[in-house]
Structure 1
Amino acid sequence: MSDESKSSESNSNLPALTRQVNELVLAGSLQHAEEALSKAADEHGDYAVAEVLATLPPQVTALHLAGFDGAKTSVATLLVPPKAWAESLAYLAATWPDDMIEDDPERIAENLFNHMHGVVYATDDEERRHELLSEASSSDWGATAFAIVWSLAPKEILEVAGEIGSKGRYVTGQTSADSDIVPLAIDLAKASEDGWERSLLELFPEFRNAADLADVELPEDEDEESEFPHRSTRELLYRLRKQVPSVRSAPKRSSRRSIGTDIFS
C-alpha cells in the first residue's frame, strides 16, 4: 500500500477512533483508551494519534491525562498536542474532590506537578517542551496551574525568580533547598517570559516587576507574616476551580499583555 493510501485510510478512521477514545475515557476505561491509541499509532503513525488527541474535547483530555503521571507510560502523554494539553489544564480542577481541596491541598498540588512534569519531560525534544510550556502558560488558568505547583516551594521560587531577574540565561537554579520544581520553573521562564511572570503574579499578587523579587525573602516559619505574602495552595486550587470554562464555550487565551522584557536576552 502506498503512503498516500495509508494516509487516506488513516484520515477516514480518525472520526471513529476519536469517538471510541472519547467514549472509553468517559466510561472510565483509561487503559482501554490507551490501548486504542497505541494500536492506532502502530497502524497509522504518531501523527494520526496526535490528530485524535487534538480533536477530543478538553474536558475529556483532562480526564484521560489525569490518570497518568511521570511514573506511568502513556501514549497520550507522549503525543498530546501542546494546544490540546493547554486547554485541558483548566478542567483538571473539576476532577478534584472538595474535601481533598480543604483537607489535603498539597497532595493535589503534588499530583498536578507529577502530571505537568510527566507531559513536559515525556521526551527529550526541547522544541516540544518549549511549545508545551508556552501554550500551557498562555491562559489565566494555565498561569494558575503553574502557581499551584510553585506554591509547594514558594521560597525556592522566590529565590529563582530573583536569580532569573539578575542573571538571565546564566541562571543556575541554585536555591536554599533542593526542589524538583525549580528546573520546571526555569524551563518555563526560558520558554515564555510572559507565562513565567504571569504565574508569579498568581503566586505573589503584589508582584509587579521581576527586579522587585531580588531582595525579598520569605520567613522560615510559614505561620510568620511575610514581607511579601503569597497565595496558599488551597486558595489557588479554588481559583483554578472558578476558571474552569463552560463546556459550551471554547477556551480562549487571556488578553493580558506581557509585562516584561526578554529576561534571557
Structure 2
Amino acid sequence: MPSPVADPLFNQSLEKGLAVLRAFDASHRTLTLGELAELTGMSKGSAQRTVHTLQVLGYVGKHPQTRRFQLLPKVIDIGFNYLAAHPLIRAAHPYLSQLAQSSGETASLTEAVDADMVYIAQFLTTQHIPVLTPVGMRIPMYCTSSGRAWLSTLPDAQVRSLLGSAPRPARTPNTLTGVNAILERVALCRKTGYTTNREELFLGDMGIAAPVVDNQGRAVAAVHLSPPTSRWTMDEAQAKLAPLVIECARAISQSLATY
C-alpha cells in the first residue's frame, strides 16, 4: 500500500480495509490470509484483524469448500450507491439507449479513475459480443477509444503526464504503447470529434468513442460503441457509427446543465 502523507486525520485501519477489498479481482477471486497479506503489504496479524472485521460486517466470507476468503454480495452496496445517485448516469440513460438501438451495438459510458476508465453505464446489444465489459470494470486509457477520447480534452503536457504515470504493456499485437503514437490519436480526436481503437485491448473488439464535457469543455466521461470485427470493418464503423457516437456525446453534454 502507498504510504500516506503525514495527516493526523488519516485512518490507517480504514485504508487497510479498503486495500483488502481491492485485493480481490478477476485473477484473485479467492485468497488465503497469507496471500492477502502479501498483496496488501500487511503483516499476517494486521491482515487477520482486518479480514475478521470485514467478515463480521458481512463484506468478506469463506468459500464453503476451499475455506479461502472471498467477497460477499454486500460489497456491491458501496458501488451501487455511487451509481444510483450519479446525475451523469441519469442524464445519459435515454441517449445511451437510443445509441444502442440505432447502432445495433453495445453502448457504454465511462469515467476516468487515475490512468483508467471505469464503466458506469451500459446498454448491451442482443447480438453476439466477443468480450464482456460489465459496469464497474476498469480499462486502461492508453489503448482504449474511451480513454483517448477523455484525454483529447486535456493539454498535451497533462496527457503525457497521465500516460507516463502507469505501465503501457502491449495487450495484443495491435496495441499502441508509445506516448507519441498515442498522442497522435488524441490529437486526431480533437479534430474529428471521435477516436478509435482496433483490437488494442481485446482481440475481436473495436471501439468508437467521443468525450462528454461540461459547459467549460472539461471532460466528465466518454461514450463509446464496441463493434466487433466479425460484423464491422474499421472503415464501415467510422463512416456509420462515429456520427452516432458524436451526436450521443453532444446530447449528453448539453443535457448535463439540467441536472
Normalising by the residue count of structure 1, what TM-score does the alignment of the two structures yield? Answer: 0.26
Higher strand share: 2
TM-score (norm 2): 0.27
Q: Greater share of helix residues, 1 or 2?
A: 1
Higher relative contact order (CA 8 A, sep 6+): 1
